[in-house]
Amino acid sequence: MENLQGLQMELKVAAYEDYERLASLQAQSWKMFYQDALEPKYLDLDILADRRAVWQTRLINPPYNQHVLLLEEGGLLCGFICAFGNHDYEKGTIIDALHIDEYYLGKGLDVKLVSHVAQWVKKHFPNNGIYVNVVKSNRRAITFCEWLGGHFKQERTWNTPCGSQVPELIYSWNSPEKLLESTSRSQSSVLNLVKG
């Protein structure tokens, strides 16, 4: 159990039976933050089934370099993070998803999850950098990356699940130690990184 601003949180590695909860939280998050990026039809009708398929696939037979961590309070999923170690030859490990339930935003859960992933990268992929792709219109996520000392690397295009093309920005940290330094200085955050 971890105490986070008065919350009794349990941190655990995701299992197959968690795929529905992961899909629901990601769908909630995308509906909140991606109104300008994703098609309304997808957000209204297709998103939950699409995210269920993604998480079911990821968790049924996870690759060795996949790491999905959950934060729960009393069995309720409050947030999660997904990373793929050594995903890119140059940039290193990708933080592929980070989502916090709207009720728990601003309580530091995002920083806690990022810190745990940085520790995992340090242990298993010590010579790796860490990076994240952030939708360009998501100011909250961009501010979060910059607040944690992320360096803007480039702009690229995200081919979204609904078929649209959306500009996104890549932020990176040269090493897990750099990211850990930033998270250790930060006890809480009012921001939520939602690309994933």
Enclosing H/E stretch for 159 = strand 151-159
Enter the tokens of residue 70.
């959950």
113: pLDDT strictly greater than 60: yes
CA angle 23, 190, 117 (to 5 degrees): 55
Which residue has better confidence, 115 or 185? 115
Structure tokens at 69: 């961590």
Asked if residue 11 lies in contact with residue 73, where contact means CB atoms within 8 angstroms, the answer is no
- pTM, two decimals, is 0.90
Closest to 143 measured CA to CA, from 189, 92, 80, 97: 189
Choose which CATH entry (3.20.20.220, 3.40.50.300, 3.40.630.30, 3.30.390.50) describes domain 2-185. 3.40.630.30
pLDDT in tens, 55-77: 999 999 999 999 999 999 999 99
Residue 3 has pLDDT above 60, yes or no: no
Residue with more model confidence, 187 or 26: 26
For the stretch 145-191, pLDDT in tens is 999 999 999 999 999 999 999 999 999 999 999 999 988 876 433 33
- Quick check: 18 pLDDT over 50? yes
Give the N- to C-terminal CA distance of the chain in Å, as an integer. 26
Give CA angle at 25 (193, 59), nearest 5°.
95
Please state the domain extents for the chain.
2-185
